[in-house]
Amino acid sequence: MKTRKRFLKNLVNKLEECRIILNKNNFKSVNLYFQDESRLGLITKQKRVITAKGIKAIGTYKHSYLYNWLWGSFSPITGESFCMTTQSVCKELFIKYLEDFSNHKPTELKIIIIDNAAFHSTKDVIIPQNIFLLPIPPYYPELNPAEKIWQWMKDKIAMKIYNTLAELNQKMEELIKTAEN
C-alpha cells in the first residue's frame, strides 16, 4: 500500500515536470511509449498443443544457449515501435538505447514508461532532452504492456527451430512490423 501511495505521489510530480518541459520546449509532437527488454534465444520454446485423444504431440527441440536481448519501446497511441538488439543488458547499453531512440524522431517528446531494472538507474546519466522517463513501481510487471508484446512474440516463435541468431532476429523484425500494423 505504501508503494502504491508513493508511486501515485511521484506520478503527480513527474507529470508536473513533464508539463513544464512541454511549456519550455517546442516539440512538434508528444508520444507515450512503454519500454522493456526481453531475452530471446535459440533454445526451442515449448508450449501446449491440441491433439486428438490418445495422440501424443511430437515436436522438434533444439538445445542451445545462444541468445540476444531485444530492447523495445511501443506506443499504444500510434502503434509505432523502436527496437534494438544487443548481446547483453547493462547501464551503458541502456544509455545507448536512449540515445538511439532519441535520434529516431528528434522533434518528438517521448514519454517512456520503464520498469525498475537495476540498469535503468539514471543516476549520473544525461538523459536526452526529448526523452522523459516515468518508472513504474518495482515488482509490478503487469503495469507494463510491453510484457504482453514479448509474450505474443514468444508464442509466435514457440515450437520452431532457428539455426542462427540472425535467422531468429529476422523473424523478430517481421513480428515487430506485424505488430505495428
Mean pLDDT on 143-162: 85
Query: In terms of Cα–Cα distance, which of 149, 162, 161, 115 is closest to 134?
Result: 115
Rounded to 5 degrees, what are φ and ψ at 66? -85, 130
Q: Comparing 24-33, 55-64, 87-96, 153-162, which segment has the lowest mean pLDDT?
A: 55-64
Q: Which of 18-32, 82-96, 137-151 has the lowest average pLDDT?
A: 18-32
CB contact at 8 A, 127 and 148: no
Determine the Cα–Cα distance for residues 162 and 9; give it in Å rounded to an integer: 46
Nearest in space to 30 (alpha carbons), one of 38, 19, 40: 19
Domain 2-180, CATH: 3.30.420.10
For the chain, the domains span 2-180
The predicted pLDDT at position 112 comes to 92
pLDDT-derived band of residue 47, with 50, 70 and 90 as boundaries? Answer: low
pLDDT mean across residues, the chain: 82
- For CA atoms 40, 42, 46, 50, give the dihedral sign: positive
